[in-house]
Each structure stands twice: as structure tokens, then as C-alpha cells.
Amino acid sequence: MFNHICKLLLFNSSIAISLLAAQYTAAENIDSKTKAQSTGNLLLSEEELNVLRAGQQPVGNAPKEEDKQNSNAVNSSLEHLGSSLKGKRSLIIEPSFSFSTSSVNRFTFRGIEIIDSVLLGAIEASDVDRETFSSQISVRYGLSNKLELSLSLPYSVRSDKLSTILRNQAGEVSRTENLQGEGYGDISAGIHYQLSSGKAGSGIFIGNLSYKSTTGDGPFNVKRGPEGIETELPTGSGFEALSAALTYIYPKDPASLFIQFSHTSHRSDYINRQLGQQFIGKVDPGNSIGLNLGIGLALSPDLSLTMGFQFDSIRGTSTFINEKEFHSSRLSLGAFFLATSLQLNEKQRLNINGAFGITDDAPDMQIGFSMPYDVFK
């Protein structure tokens, strides 16, 4: 596990160092006139320099400090929601790294309850501790001032520890299993379009559409033992997915309020595989709806803070096993998140984020960082 984590760290570090080196090389070729006309990180086109404040300013004038500060809050919120909309011909390369941990405890009784607290049968208690290290490279390109394409390639290292205790009249049996998984995940691609300009104090609407492939090893593609039990962990979902989201951002100096509604639909598939004594037929993963809301606060022209709440409700999966249909229970994933963003220089930002689960199905804790690099700025 330690070697796998080191690989991920070296992978991200080498990318970040390469981007910094490219940045300093490009900086030597910037003349004083270009520096004087720098307009900072603005959300809209050159014709809409001051989208986040009332009034107009001649094109070519540098934005005021408070305008740059409010723009920083909006950009931070956008990056948290998965887009940036930096403008036409902008190219953003973003390496990121994250770690999440969760614990699932289950208590199962198979038998008869005579009276309260008197049980006849078998009692099984299980505890699953999960840790996931993820690395991802994302590329975003602006086709126009309001249209952006994105592509993401993830790589993850997973580790699960399963501890089980079975107690019955014959005695107690305990068992511990350790499962590992490592590899590329599901590549995803997206398109983001700004539906409104946000002028005159109005909000900004952004439409998002994304597709997730099945390039990672799904749960039915991993190695399994003679009884059909998996011996390694998947790195992908195994099912194609299409997501649509609508984002609304309301800039109010020095903050920006945002809310996002999303829906994800998974494509069902016929597995048609014999796993031990079970024949797996059609599997239809549950669709999900999501809510993401919060506030981005500009603490200074180069530093911002984003906080809020995110929630996903995932419908249960339908699975045909030995020609009989079974349904899993619905999952509810809720978490509070906190993120900070620091503008290191004209081309690069540092984002640090954390999330803390508040529902039983959500990961207990997740922390990560990313470094978006604006290539052509």
C-alpha cells in the first residue's frame, strides 16, 4: 500500500513541477505592455469585463481590486462544481489527489426472538473499513466564452478490511479479510455552457452534461475465488452513466451563493455470468438525484473560501440472480464540505478541500487538493 501511495504522489508531483517550469519559461516572454493590460481571472468574455458589478468600464482597463476579489469567489465556486468557464481558447490542466475513508458496521440475526433480548439462532457482526487514494488529471478547454469541454482520467488505489464475527450455540468464529485494488478508473467527458450573462446584478445559470465510461475494472470484471467471492476490488463502476446538472450562481460582493441540481442515469447491462452457485443476469443500477449548495467567500483578491452541503439520493439496484429479481436498499449520501483556494500567480491556483459525511452511507471523511494551471493565460 505504501508503494502505491508513493506512486500517486510522485505522479501528481511530477505534473505540478512540469506545469510550474512551463509557467516560468512563459513568464520571461511577457512584455510590460501585456502585464499592464492583465485582466485577472474573469468569468466572461472581454466584452463583459465587469459581469459581477454594476456599471460599465471601457474594454482594456484593468479590473478594480474588488472586482477581481468577487471574480475569485465565483471562480472558486465554479471549480468546486466541476467547471471554470475561463473564456475562448482557454486550456486548464488540473492534477488532483484525494483520500477518503469510511467504516460500515452491520449486525445480523438469523433465528427466533422469544422475548426481548432473548435470541435463539446465529448472530453475525461485520465491520468494513475502506480507504481510497485517488489521483486524477482533468483537462478543460474553452471553445467560446461561454462553452467549455472537459475530460478526466482517474487512477485509484483501494483497500478494504473486512472483519466478521459469527456467534451461535456451537461457539464463536471470527474472520478477517484484506482486499486490494489498483488501476485506472472510468474516464469521463463533459460539456458546460453558460446560459445567462449575469449582468446588472442577475445570477449566472450554467448547464452541465457529462458522460462516464467503463474503462475501469467493474465489480463483475475483478478476479474471484471458486465460490464466486471477489479477491480484489474494482476501480470502476462497470456501468455507463449520463449526468445532467443545472447550476445557479448569484454573485454578491464579496461572496457568491450557488446551488446545483443534478440527475444521473445509469445504463443497465446483462452480465450473464456464473459466480459460484449464482447466475447473474440483468443488472440495473439505480439512478440518482443530487443537491449541492453553499457559499463562496473572497477573503482577499487571491484567497477564497467555499463551504456548503451536498446530498445524493441513489435508488436501489435491481439484480436478477438465478432468474429471480432482487432489489438493494436506497442509499443517502450527505456531507458538509469546506474548501479554500489560493491564487499562487497569474496562471496557477491551489485548491484544498475536505468533506465530512453526516449520513450512514456517506464516507466518514474525504480530503484532497488540486492545482489548476491556465496554459494560455
Distances (CA, A) of 282 to 26, 105, 148, 178: 54, 29, 36, 29
Task: List b or e across 242-275, with b for residues whose CB sees 16 or more CB atoms inside 10 angstroms.
Answer: ebebebbbbbeebbbbbbbebebebeebebeeeb
87, amino acid identity? G
Structural contact between residues 121 and 157, judged by C-beta atoms closer than 8 angstroms: no
Q: Which three cell numbers stand for residue 232?
A: 480484489
241, amino acid identity? A
**Residue 157 belongs to what domain range?**
2-374
Instruction: Give the residue from 268, 269, 246 showing the smallest Cα distance to 258.
Output: 246
Instruction: Give the residue from 192, 197, 208 showing the smallest Cα distance to 147.
Output: 192
CA within 13 Å, CB half, 363: 16
- Tens-level pLDDT at each residue, the chain (377 residues): 545 555 555 545 554 445 444 444 444 443 433 333 333 333 444 344 333 333 333 334 444 555 555 565 566 666 666 666 778 889 999 999 999 999 877 655 444 444 444 444 455 567 788 999 999 999 999 999 899 999 999 999 999 988 877 666 566 777 788 999 999 999 999 999 999 877 767 788 999 999 999 999 999 989 888 777 888 999 999 999 999 999 998 888 788 889 999 999 999 999 999 888 889 999 999 999 999 999 988 888 888 899 999 999 999 999 999 999 999 889 999 999 999 999 999 899 999 999 999 998 899 999 999 999 999 97
Q: What is the 3-state secondary structure (H, E, C) of 309-353?
A: EEEEEECCCEEEECCEEEECCCEEEEEEEEEEEEECCCCEEEEEE
Q: How far apart are CA 215 and CA 268, in angstroms?
A: 16
Q: How far apart are CA 362 and CA 356, in angstroms?
A: 8
Q: Which residue has the cell 477573503?
A: 299
- In the prediction, which pLDDT does 78 show? 63
Q: What is the CATH number of the domain that holds 116?
A: 2.40.160.40
Q: Where are the beta strands (DSSP E) in the chain?
A: 91-115, 118-142, 147-168, 171-184, 188-194, 204-212, 241-252, 255-266, 269-275, 278-284, 288-300, 303-314, 318-321, 324-327, 331-343, 349-357, 365-370, 373-374
- In the prediction, which pLDDT does 208 show? 94
The total of structural domains in the chain comes to 1
- In the prediction, which pLDDT does 62 show? 44
